[in-house]
Each structure stands twice: as C-alpha cells, then as structure tokens.
Amino acid sequence: MYNSFFKSAGLAALMMGAATFSGHTAPYTVDLSHSFIKFETSHLGFSKLSGRFNKFSGTMNYDPAKGPDGQSIKIEIDITSLDTNWPDRDKHLRSADFFNSEKFTKATFESTGYDGDANGGTLKGNLTLLGVTKEISFAIKKIGEGKDPWGGYRAGFEGSYTLTRKDFGMDYNLGPEAEKVEITLQIEALKDK
C-alpha cells in the first residue's frame, strides 16, 4: 500500500500506450472522475490492504506518424490524498515513516519510451517518489477509445506495476510480505478540444 504511488506510473503508461494506437493526434487530459490509481500490499502476511490516491492529474501527447517515439505522458499525484478508508492508518502512511507528505507532497511519473502495438506493450519512464527518481517499466493495455455521448473523444487504458518500497527509501519495517506493493492503474483520458 505504501507503494501506491507507483500506480501513477502505471497509469501514465496506460495513457501513453493508448496514444500510440490511435489515429487521433492531439493532447489528452486525464479524466479524474473516471480514472483510478490503486494499490495493494500484504498486512503482516495475514491479509491484504488496499488503498488509492484520490487526487492526481495528467496529460499525454502523441503523434502516430512518429510511432512509439512520438508519444509522451506525465502524471502528478497528490500524496496527501492517500486513502485506505481508515483515517488513523492514512495519517501514519502520510508520516515520515512512509510517504513523508509534509516534505514530499507530490509524486510524478514522466514517460521516456514505449515499446508495443495497438493492443498494448511496455511503458518506460521516470518515477519520482520521496525525492528519489528511478526509471521503471511496466505493461499496459488499451481498454478502448472513441467518441463519447457529449461530443468528446476518449481513450482508456490499464496497467500494473510491482513496487519495492526500499527502492525509494521507504524502509519502515512491516515484515517481508509488505516489501512489495501491487499497483493497478485504470486511466481514461479526454482529447483536448
């Protein structure tokens, strides 16, 4: 759960992948009302703990004529919006033991490359969390794209990433089962008019 931040990375990846497959060249903006960055980790090896970030934003650009190299995406996550449906736990996760959200209020993912086709592929980029930047990669898949009932054009993607907390300096001991965090990204982006 502490690595939920990484979900943002997956999200970005999804968005970027979708762009590479579409024939509609234009900037897109992430639709927060239909997008999710979720995370899950072990609780002491007894059960699973899930959560999400309620506030994040993102943009992507792509040019199908340039192929995968012409695509880009950037996601910014408000770490203070972490939500596991338990206020005391959320307060602890925002503390210096984990996300240190008073000092590091944002986490970002910025793509650096994509390898795939219209059905999906692998997104690469730089994830910055707790002041540490790491290059990561993860699989993404396009869910669908097309015109919406209100005259807009949308594209949706999903992806997943497994985060290792210690890679970003988050070393509060919760036992070996909690070192890995599974991040799930579900992104819907709206073409800018």
Q: Which residue's structure tokens are 């992806």?
A: 159
DSSP code of 16?
A: H
The mean pLDDT value of the chain amounts to: 84
The pLDDT value recorded for residue 188 is 93
CA distance 23 to 83: 36
Is residue 96's pLDDT more than 90? yes
**The pair of three-digit structure tokens given for residue 143, joined into one six-digit string:** 């869910």
CA 38 centroid distance within chain: 8
Ordered domains of the chain (ranges, CATH): 4-191 (2.40.128.110)
Overall average pLDDT of the 141-165 stretch:
92
Report yes or no on whether pTM surpasses 0.75. Answer: yes
Task: Kindly report, residue by residue over 159-177, the tens digit of the pLDDT.
Answer: 999 999 999 999 998 888 8
Percent of the chain topping pLDDT 90? 61
Triad 65, 110, 192: Cα angle to 5°? 55
